[in-house]
Amino acid sequence: MPDQSPSPRREASAARPFTPVIVGGDIGAYSLARAFHEAYGRRSVVISRAAGWHVADSAFITNVPCADPFDPAALAPVLAEVASSHPEGALLLLGSADATVKAIIRVRDELAALGDRWIAPYVDMDTFRAGTEKQNFSALCEELGVDHPLTRVVDLAEEVDPALEVPFTYPVIAKPAEVSEWKDVDFPGKQKVHTVESPQELVALLQRIRAAGYRSSIIVQDRIPGDDQEMRILTCYCDENSVVRFASFGRTLLEEHTPGAIGNPAAILTDHDPRAVEQAQRLITALGWTGYANFDLKHDRRDGATKFFELNPRLGRSNYYVTAGGNNPVEWYVRDLLEHSLPSEGPGSGVGEDGILQQQQEALYTVVPVALVKKYTTQPDAKEQLRRALRAGGARNPLIYPAVERHPKRLAYTAAALLNYVRKFRRYYRPERVS
């Protein structure tokens, strides 16, 4: 796969010495570590339950094991060990998943286990829940007039009503409101997101989920028509006053479709949508959000609106699409929290009509072979946009870093992963045919 990988910019910033510490071992954690290496030549500490292939044998990652990185009691002593082994400079603590961000907040606020050297750039737990728990997010969108799908919240603390009705037509989407609790339950046919075809199927699914021990809410939503090409992504950096300084919008071309990973973007084109950014600012202001907010959206061809699904409290799993567009996202952390040098005027200042930096080059982020992206991109405007991006700079895959990553085992795993995607898409993906 062609990849225009930049050489790392050693000490590109005048920031005081720091070490990135990332909790999580997935591709999102690796992408964050790569972003720090590209921008500053920094080696990251990645804390994970096991040294998965995404982070193992990397030239710029020190992997530290933790029995349960989602458990604050298990995470806190590991962080103390990291601080002892890195006695100089700031320690910038980031999570690569909602559950690890939640654990970091609890270590910081409930256990008070972080010293002065640690910087954990996340909101407090009340704000976290207000923004990330899907029933709260849907209610906030309704209150603020932000475009979002019609929603019914079903509380599984109570028995399921056999006569349950929803105010929209089938098929519908059913997904957990509390993702961290969802990870702890198992039942036949469990998926990250369920598509439900009838009222009877919905009641049966809810009863099965409750019998498995899940007692939080399930979000039932109107299913917006269209395949992966209608999905969108928006990443915003917000300052201490909840003002958006930077926004990166993307148009998804492909998502993953294996049951455990369904919904994760696999290929994204950088794009622009000022209306989505304006609506995101409304949400961020109302929440008092700071740091990164990552939104999942979908374009609804029925009314032309791009509708907000959820807020992720971190740089997303596919955060490298932002870097592909020419804006390394970790630089905003460094400028704000270590250098205290955010712009005071112009793009990035948050002041006036042009105060949000939204400029980015047209680029393709992908973790799958480009041939797959071309095969499943069928909308004429998306196909033309894809052609332009490939002509301009090729594809950017966070796992392909030839200037730095040369370990034979990593290269073999990466090649195997690309080939495996062909098999998985052939098995799991049946896209809608849209005229």
Question: What are the pLDDT digits (tens) for 314-333?
Answer: 998 999 999 999 999 999 99
Query: What is the arithmetic mean of pLDDT over 196-213?
Result: 96
Q: What pLDDT, on a 0 to 100 scale, did the predictor assign at position 394? A: 79
From 366, 417, 387, select the one nearest 250 (Cα to Cα).
366
Query: What is the arithmetic mean of pLDDT over 377-400?
Result: 94
In the DSSP assignment, the letter for residue 224 is -
**Residue 433 — very low, low, confident or very high, per pLDDT cuts 50/70/90?**
low
C-alpha span between 237 and 330 (Å, rounded): 10
Residues 355, 232 within the same domain: yes
C-alpha span between 223 and 195 (Å, rounded): 8
From 260, 257, 264, 235, select the one nearest 248 (Cα to Cα).
235
Domain-located, residue 145: no
Q: What is the CATH number of the domain that holds 203?
A: 3.30.1490
Residues 170, 96 within the same domain: no
Q: Which residues contact 305 (CB under 8 A, 6 or more apart)?
A: 147, 299
Q: Which of 188, 222, 256 is the last residue of a domain?
A: 222
Domain-located, residue 132: no
Query: What is the arithmetic mean of pLDDT over 374-393?
Result: 95
Residues 250, 383 within the same domain: yes
Q: What pLDDT, on a 0 to 100 scale, did the predictor assign at position 177? A: 87
In the DSSP assignment, the letter for residue 394 is B
Which is higher by pLDDT, 12 or 124?
Answer: 124
Q: What is the CATH number of the domain that holds 65?
A: 3.40.50
Residues 412, 364 within the same domain: yes
Read out DSSP for 105-154?
HHHHHTS----TTEE-----HHHHHHHHSHHHHHHHHHHHT-----EEEE
Residues 325, 197 within the same domain: no
* Cis preceding linkage at 72, omega within 30: no
Residues 398, 413 within the same domain: yes
- CB of 239 within 8 A of CB of 222? no
**Residue 10 — very low, low, confident or very high, per pLDDT cuts 50/70/90?**
very low
Residues 173, 307 within the same domain: no
Q: What pLDDT, on a 0 to 100 scale, did the predictor assign at position 1? A: 53
Name which of 254-258, 273-277, 299-303, 403-407 the model is least confident about: 254-258
Residue spans of alpha helices (H) in 183-273: 199-211
Give the torsion sign (CA, 73, 78, 81, 87).
negative
Domain-located, residue 133: no
Torsion, CA 332, CA 333, CA 339, CA 341, rounded to 10: 30
From 323, 127, 151, 169, select the one nearest 220 (Cα to Cα).
151
Percent of residues, the chain, with pLDDT higher than 90: 87
Scanning the structure block, which residue is given the tokens 């710029």?
A: 60
Domain-located, residue 257: yes
- Domain around 367: 228-428
- For the cut 80, the answer to whether the pLDDT of residue 432 exceeds it is no
Name which of 15-19, 166-170, 207-211 the model is least confident about: 15-19
Is pTM, for the whole model, over 0.85?
yes
Residues 174, 313 within the same domain: no
- For the cut 60, the answer to whether the pLDDT of residue 435 exceeds it is no
Domain-located, residue 137: no
Question: CB-hemisphere CA count at 13 Å for 426?
Answer: 6
pLDDT one-digit tens code per residue, 225-280:
999 999 999 999 999 999 999 999 999 999 998 877 888 999 999 999 999 999 99
Query: What residue ranges in 289-393 does DSSP mark as E strands?
Result: 291-299, 306-312, 364-366
Which conformational region is residue 41 in: left (phi greater than 0), alpha (psi within -120 to 50 degrees), or beta? left
User: What percent of the chain is helix, strand and coil (3-state, nearest 5)?
Assistant: 35, 20, 45
Q: What pLDDT, on a 0 to 100 scale, did the predictor assign at position 199? A: 96
Domain-located, residue 64: yes
How many domains does the structure of the chain reveal?
3
Q: What pLDDT, on a 0 to 100 scale, did the predictor assign at position 181? A: 85
**Residue 431 — very low, low, confident or very high, per pLDDT cuts 50/70/90?**
confident
pLDDT one-digit tens code per residue, 414-424:
999 999 999 99
Q: What is the CATH number of the domain that holds 318?
A: 3.30.470.20
pLDDT one-digit tens code per residue, 89-145:
999 999 999 999 999 999 999 999 999 999 999 999 999 999 999 889 999 999 999
From 323, 321, 128, 90, select the one nearest 332 (Cα to Cα).
323
Name which of 14-23, 162-171, 210-219 the model is least confident about: 14-23
Q: What pLDDT, on a 0 to 100 scale, did the predictor assign at position 258? A: 85
Q: What pLDDT, on a 0 to 100 scale, did the predictor assign at position 8? A: 44
Residues 43, 160 within the same domain: no
Residues 297, 355 within the same domain: yes
Domain-located, residue 1: no
Q: What pLDDT, on a 0 to 100 scale, did the predictor assign at position 183? A: 84
Residues 216, 232 within the same domain: no
Q: Which of 201, 222, 243 is the last residue of a domain?
A: 222
Scanning the structure block, which residue is given the tokens 């006036």?
A: 352
Q: What pLDDT, on a 0 to 100 scale, did the predictor assign at position 336? A: 97
Mean of the per-residue pLDDT values of the chain: 93
Structure tokens given for 264: 């994760």
- For the cut 50, the answer to whether the pLDDT of residue 434 exceeds it is no
pLDDT one-digit tens code per residue, 174-187:
999 887 789 889 99
**Residue 7 — very low, low, confident or very high, per pLDDT cuts 50/70/90?**
very low
Q: Which of 222, 243, 268 is the last residue of a domain?
A: 222
Q: What pLDDT, on a 0 to 100 scale, did the predictor assign at position 379? A: 95
Which is higher by pLDDT, 429 or 239?
Answer: 239
- For the cut 60, the answer to whether the pLDDT of residue 12 exceeds it is no
Domain-located, residue 3: no
C-alpha span between 178 and 133 (Å, rounded): 6
Residues 268, 295 within the same domain: yes
